[in-house]
A and B are shown apart, each in its own frame.
Chain A
Amino acid sequence: MSELAAPPGRTLDPLLDHAPCGYLSFADDGTITAANATLAAMLGHAPGTLDGQRIDAVLTVGARLFYQTHFFPLVRMHGHAEEVFLVLRAAEGGTVPVLANARRVERDGGWANDCVFMRVTERAKFEEELLNARREADRAREVVEEHARELRMANELLEQQAVELELQQQQLQEQAVELETQSEYLQAVNDQLVAHGDELERQRAAADEANRAKSSFLAVMSHELRTPLNAIAGYVQLLEMGIHGPVTGAQREALDRIARSQNHLLRLINDVLNLARIESGRVEFLLEAVELSALMREVTPMVEPQMDAKRLTFAVRVPPGTTVRADREKLQQILINLLGNALKFTPAGGTVWVECAPGTGHPPTVLLRVCDSGIGIPPEKLPAVFEPFVQVDMSRTGRSEGSGLGLAISRDLARGMSGDLDVESEVGKGSVFTLHLPASQGEPA
């Protein structure tokens, strides 16, 4: 028995009072029925002062909650509890971590919950460390999981992009195939066009050949036709001369008509022959410097009598000194042709004139115009006037004396001399045929 025995009224066994661990007994309603001196000292209380207090007095707030939700139910339901960690509250406000063992026993006709508390300050530190390490590990794992999640998401994104890229690649491949198909198609079209071109070339060659054959045929035919015509002319002359007997007035008139028809037919054949020659390239041009005023002096006498006869005013307004490079004979032929037309299509009392002007092209050209105040040509007919066998208005001129080849021959001749022939006209006012010719750099002939 020690002098540190329990104060008066205490029933605690002195052995228990000084046991090397805290001891506390509480009733179900939470009242402390006994606490030993070791516990009181552990918490900074005087021995015996805890008796009768509520157990909340020795627990921190967290420990009180844990007591109410865990510790008491555990002891109450199981009858005991082992190694429960609690944080006790010291008198000065400090905390004392303890491990509690408890047992529920029946004593003095009631139930008592006896607890022993073992200080675990040092252990608690290690536990704290362990717990912290665990929390750290949990946090680290969370971070890792978060990273893993991010990686997964990034990976998914990449996979998605890969799928998209693959899709795009497929599209590109499809487009490439499409392009290849188009390319093949274009190649095929190109091949066709080339084949077409070859075909056209062949057709053109064939057409040229056919044209040459036609011209050649016409030349031959014209030549063959001229022989009997010359025979007709010869025999008409013999008959007119009375070699085969006297000729009556009526016979002479008939012979005269035969001669005129023969002459017309011969001219027609000559024209055809000329055109055929020109078109088949068998006409040769003797190009030389031709002085136009001199040329007109040669041409004028050939047409003047007919102009006078039809009471037409004929004027030549070609000043001396204008020289062109041309085939003199062909140029004459063109002028006579054009003046013949003017004569034909200009009513009596009208005017026909020839004028010249410098051209605008380069190399320099000269324009020689044959103008008339005649009936003119309707605009829609203009393009056709140079076509072979075309006469613009038969009704106005009556039965034409010409072959309809004159203008075609004239244009072909002009072009054969690196010149050209075109026309401007107004119905009722007259026509202007313009002959384009290269100017000659040399001296006049």
Chain B
Amino acid sequence: MDMAADVLSRNNVRVTGRGTQPMLFAHGFGCDQNMWRFVAPAFEDDYRVVLFDYVGSGKSGLDAYDPERYATLDGYARDLLEVVHALDLRDVILVAHSVSSMIGVLAANQEPDRFERLVLIGPSPRYVNDPPYVGGFERADIEGLLEMMDRNYIGWAQFLAPAIIKNGDRPELGEELTASFCSTDPVVARAFAQATFLSDNRDDVARVAVPSLILQCSDDMVAPLEVGEYLHAHLPGSTLRVMEATGHCPHMSHPEETIGLMRAYLHPAVAA
């Protein structure tokens, strides 16, 4: 029980909703459970809605961060499964954004019996091109992202915030600075970015036994259409829906469409 309580606190788990079947929302890289603010409430009537932050993101317990464990997506998959066990969730509908899609794939492969459906928003099994496979990026592009992160996280927040905090005259400023980017620790963010964008989960995808919905945005530079089509072809039991939404975050930019497609997939009869 203590272990479960530790996990709930460590991963800042929030449970809402009036239903019984759990709908577990897993945020993507760069943000935290807040990103589900426009989508999750729509399912509170019918589901037990579970939100959480990965260790190192949002309001998770940063002291639980272990560079070795979180060097690959397996560590994040353990976070997800530990949340599932802490609440003893069964028949889970996992709603995963971006990198969480592959984290969900890893978790579902480890314990397929726990999951009923996977809803994967903007998933990609591999971001870097590996001809003939098209991921959409070259390694140098990923370096560009890391550079941008360094400049924003480390360049200012990290460089100056600790100094301000140390001076002690305006500690709230330091907190504000470091908390401003959807609350992700800069060192964790960098490692998470590398684990995310340099991963290759194509083999894992082929072994998935849980039925899934792929929500593919039109014109998503992070997960291009080719990636969605590749996934649909290689992910057993998958349904592909190409959204009208553009960009990489339809749950934030186009929550209505996202909710509608999820409902249609989960309750085809009702939606029809």
**Which positions in A face B, CB cutoff 8 Å?**
28-31, 54, 56, 60-66, 68-70, 72-74, 76-78, 81-87, 127, 130-131, 134
Does B202 belong to the interface (CB within 8 Å)? Answer: no
Complex-state Cα separation, A85 to B147, whole angstroms? 10
Complex-state Cα separation, A70 to B152, whole angstroms? 10
A73 and B249: CB pair below 8 A? yes
Does B35 belong to the interface (CB within 8 Å)? Answer: yes
Q: A72-B247, A73-B35 are in contact. Are A85 and B252 (CB under 8 A)?
A: no
A65 and B141: CB pair below 8 A? yes
Q: A30-B246, A77-B31 are in contact. Are A70 and B181 (CB under 8 A)?
A: yes
Does B245 belong to the interface (CB within 8 Å)? Answer: yes
**Which positions in B face A, CB cutoff 8 Å?**
28-31, 34-35, 37, 98, 137, 141-152, 154-156, 159, 180-182, 197, 219, 221-222, 245-249, 252-254
Give the Cβ gap from A367 to chain B, nearest Cβ, in Å: 104
B30 and A28: CB pair below 8 A? no
Select one of B31, B145, B180, B249 contacting A65, CB under 8 A.
Answer: B145
Complex-state Cα separation, A130 to B144, whole angstroms? 18
> Of A54, A60, A70, which is in contact with the most chain B CB atoms at under 10 Å from its CB?
A70
Give the Cβ gap from A54 to chain B, nearest Cβ, in Å: 7
Complex-state Cα separation, A29 to B217, whole angstroms? 10
A73 and B31: CB pair below 8 A? yes
A54 and B154: CB pair below 8 A? no
Please name all residues of chain B whose beta carbon is closer than 8 Å to the beta carbon of A28 when the two chains form the complex: 247, 252-254
Select one of A31, A63, A72, A131 contacting B144, CB under 8 A.
Answer: A63
Please name all residues of chain A whose beta carbon is closer than 8 Å to the beta carbon of B35 when the two chains form the complex: 73, 77
> Of A56, A65, A81, A87, which is in contact with the most chain B CB atoms at under 10 Å from its CB?
A65
Please name all residues of chain B whose beta carbon is closer than 8 Å to the beta carbon of A77 when the two chains form the complex: 31, 34-35, 37, 182, 252
5 cross-chain pairs, A with B, having the tightest CB-CB distances, nearest first: A62-B144, A69-B30, A28-B253, A68-B248, A66-B148
A85 and B221: CB pair below 8 A? no
Give the Cβ gap from A72 to chain B, nearest Cβ, in Å: 6
> Of A60, A69, A73, A85, which is in contact with the most chain B CB atoms at under 10 Å from its CB?
A69
Q: A28-B252, A69-B30, A77-B35 are in contact. Are A85 and B182 (CB under 8 A)?
A: no
Q: A30-B246, A73-B30, A76-B252 are in contact. Are A68 and B148 (CB under 8 A)?
A: no
Complex-state Cα separation, A316 to B226, whole angstroms? 141
Complex-state Cα separation, A127 to B152, whole angstroms? 11
Select one of B29, B180, B197, B221 contacting A64, CB under 8 A.
Answer: B221
Q: List 5 A-B contacts (CB under 8 A).
A: A68-B247, A73-B182, A85-B155, A130-B155, A134-B154
Please name all residues of chain A whose beta carbon is closer than 8 Å to the beta carbon of B252 when the two chains form the complex: 28, 72-73, 76-77
- Nearest to B150 among chain A residues (CB) is A131
A61 and B159: CB pair below 8 A? no
Select one of A29, A60, A70 contacting B245, CB under 8 A.
Answer: A29
Give 20 A-B pairs besides A74-B180, A74-B181, A131-B154 with Cβ atoms closer than 8 angstroms.
A30-B253, A54-B246, A62-B141, A62-B146, A62-B148, A63-B144, A66-B148, A69-B28, A69-B30, A69-B98, A69-B145, A72-B247, A72-B249, A73-B182, A73-B249, A74-B182, A85-B156, A87-B144, A130-B159, A134-B154
A61 and B137: CB pair below 8 A? yes
A127 and B28: CB pair below 8 A? no
Complex-state Cα separation, A66 to B248, whole angstroms? 11
Give the Cβ gap from A387 to chain B, nearest Cβ, in Å: 99
Please name all residues of chain A whose beta carbon is closer than 8 Å to the beta carbon of B182 when the two chains form the complex: 70, 73-74, 77
Complex-state Cα separation, A73 to B149, whole angstroms? 14
Complex-state Cα separation, A70 to B154, whole angstroms? 14
Give the Cβ gap from A62 to chain B, nearest Cβ, in Å: 2
Please name all residues of chain A whose beta carbon is closer than 8 Å to the beta carbon of B246 when the two chains form the complex: 29-31, 54
- Nearest to A72 among chain B residues (CB) is B249
Complex-state Cα separation, A54 to B247, whole angstroms? 10
Please name all residues of chain A whose beta carbon is closer than 8 Å to the beta carbon of B141 when the two chains form the complex: 61-62, 65
Complex-state Cα separation, A83 to B173, whole angstroms? 14
Give the Cβ gap from A358 to chain B, nearest Cβ, in Å: 105
- Nearest to A124 among chain B residues (CB) is B151
Give the Cβ gap from B201 to chain A, nearest Cβ, in Å: 18
- Nearest to B222 among chain A residues (CB) is A68
B221 and A62: CB pair below 8 A? no
